[in-house]
Structure 1
């Protein structure tokens, strides 16, 4: 068995985690060696959301995502199939397209005009006779693994045995299906928000249940004491139900009292704020009025980029538009509070005095994530960093 085979066996075992009562150590939130190794073992093999199928509806429509020094293009072919390729010309490595979206019948390299079809085939090379070793059939675009789940398109750079998105979300299939993700459309363009924190810091905060009543006054007024978290293997489920409260502000009361009926949803879904965090760095915020996705893409040991956009079902009702605005007003406050929190935690993680902290029994999502990281990179069990060079030979 390889090291990763052993790691997956350990993740699957409920009994193997002697450090279960302790957090991940602070040094792995800013250490360059650890960052480089976890990019190979955690991020490169993991699924990353790109867009919705409706955003590449016609042949030639494409969307891109850039991370870990790679640019990936998702494009619909003339045959109607959606495929993913690295956004790299096979001649001199020129990037074929720029920007997050576009439409092209053919992908023509802006450097030397090599031409690729929307299915990745190399079909045109100026002065072809100049290249005696060239074989068109073996120089098409390099494919990238792609998965479509409930209308959303995901890619991953390498395969290391992590489950598919469908497998991660299988325990929640019935709950997700009722929201009709496939029929949704984007409410705007993708937003990018840089953050000066390690990527894990964002995910930890997302799954943390104990900070809600302490740091999120508005969210607490909205859902009261109903907020719950659950760890389910490779995905976390979190939720709270909107309650009646005399201390709620204008927008909180407005959302609670004016949410219109959505006929295909059960009654309890109308007031439920439902969240899913998928391994290792993606989340869906699901409401009766809309859904938001967010992912936190690593940039450096102390930097990441939030990539997010909201989707909804077409609904021209005035009250639905106003409820969606109220949703935004409430959540922009929550986001600002979280930004302040994670920036201060990042500063603390970089203190030489911080090793690990205790984890409460109720912090099941943090426990689940920490177990996976420790299994994939055993050095994460050490409260303080090993001697420099510890990661040599592990990648």
Structure 2
């Protein structure tokens, strides 16, 4: 397995070679701080521009106790708002997607234009304190990176998505993200694990030869990992030897040439994980995004969908189906792995574990977590109320 550290500067932190303590994967107070310090300021992917092409089309995303709606206005501009009426706090829309000429609250029919302005209040004269000009929907920061729409609940001065991905822009460019269209719908997968366990596993390369025989058959020993300041990268080039598994062997045989990709990307799988929880799986045949959203200290929700470029070749359709079959098995294996880890985190016999020099992504993640929440440096769980002390 190839690895590349973020830099050559020797670490001086005595915790650099150790994992986060187990208690941070189950503690309610630590979870609450993560919501405030990590998730609210982070950029979260909602959908692709192609998912909301017409005026009034909208998509929503729920996390951190908030519901965010992204809508295309009559001026063709995409905007994000909290999905909350300014009258009594009612949710405006239900579901994950829809289309509306105006946003009308189902409680008292307060009406908002697609640009967020409050335009209608029944019996408005009876509200002596109402200033319609100040009662529009609350805006949420929005960024579009290569066609994908991200939102941010709070700005803490951190980097934009474009800045996070800047080291890899030339690597991503040939895949023509801006032209992608959804293949199917968003899938939601609840998991009985802390959100960090999903991310730890996603960026871990050491478990590939142990727990993923399919990926090992496809990539041999050529799976690599590296860590940048805000992005992890993983990659693997398919070997020429035919796999013993029929799905993998057919994928190897049927995957057709992709004219817009360089020769060295024709049979290359590429993965990026953006801090703290958004991932892009990039294949010659399709691009997937996945994010793991915390629900409680010991549960999370994995949200994922595939995007593709128009290609009617039968070989490409078959390759995309086989890709799904291969990764369905990988996902099942990963689910079993992270469940075992979460269960082990409950044992009093385990606190922290040593990290290999090859676990560059996990080491970097642990450092960022300790920087944001210094209590993560404590090996053992502090007494209740520690976060308010």
**TM-score by shorter chain over 0.5:** yes
Among 210, 216, 223, which residue is 1:214 paired with? 210
Whether 2:29 is the aligned partner of 1:41: answer no
Counterpart of 1:5? none
Find 1:65's aligned residue among 52, 61, 64. 61
1:327-361 Cα offsets, whole Å, 9 max, x none, are 01110000000000000000011111111000000
Correspondence 1:105 to 2:98: no
Q: Which of 342, 366, 380 is matched with 1:384 structurally?
A: 380
CA distance in 2, matches of 1:233, 1:346: 27
- 1:158 maps to which of 154, 161, 173: 154
Q: Which moved more, 1:153-162 or 1:183-192?
A: 153-162
Distance 2:148 2:12 in 1: 34
Unaligned runs of 5+ in 1: 1-12
1:176 CA displacement: 0.6
Q: Does 1:21 align with 2:27?
A: no
Residue matched to 2:289: 293
8 Å CA contact 2:232–2:361 kept in 1: the answer is yes
**Structure 2 unmatched ranges of 5 or more:** 1-8
1:251 aligns with 2:247: yes
**1:122 corresponds to 2:82:** no
| 1:283-329, Cα deviation, whole Å (9 max, x unpaired) | 00000100111000000000000000000001111100000011011
> C-alpha distance in 1, partners of 2:355/2:254?
39
Displacement after TM superposition at 1:250 (Å): 1.1
Aligned match of 1:266:
262
Mapped to 2, the partners of 1:215 and 1:77 lie a distance apart of 47
TM-aligned CA distance change 1:252 to 1:56, over 3 Å: same
Confirm or deny: 8 A CA contact 1:196 1:304 kept in the other structure. Answer: yes
TM-score w.r.t. the length of structure 2 is 0.96
Match of 1:333 among 329, 353, 372: 329
Deviations 1:184-220 (A, max 9, x none): 0000110000000000000000011100000000110
Q: CA deviation at 1:16?
A: 5.7
* Partner Cα distance (2:115, 2:348) in 1: 52
Contact 1:218 1:248 (C-alpha < 8 Å) held by counterparts = no
TM-score computed with the length of structure 1 as normaliser: 0.95
| Distance in 2 between residues matched to 1:246 and 1:15, nearest whole Å | 42
CA distance in 2, matches of 1:335, 1:157: 30
Aligned residues: 381
Please tell me the root mean square deviation across aligned C-alpha atoms, in Å. 1.1
TM-aligned CA distance change 1:62 to 1:247, over 3 Å:
closer
Aligned equivalent of 2:171: 175
How much has 1:387 moved relative to structure 2?
1.4
Aligned to 1:316: 312
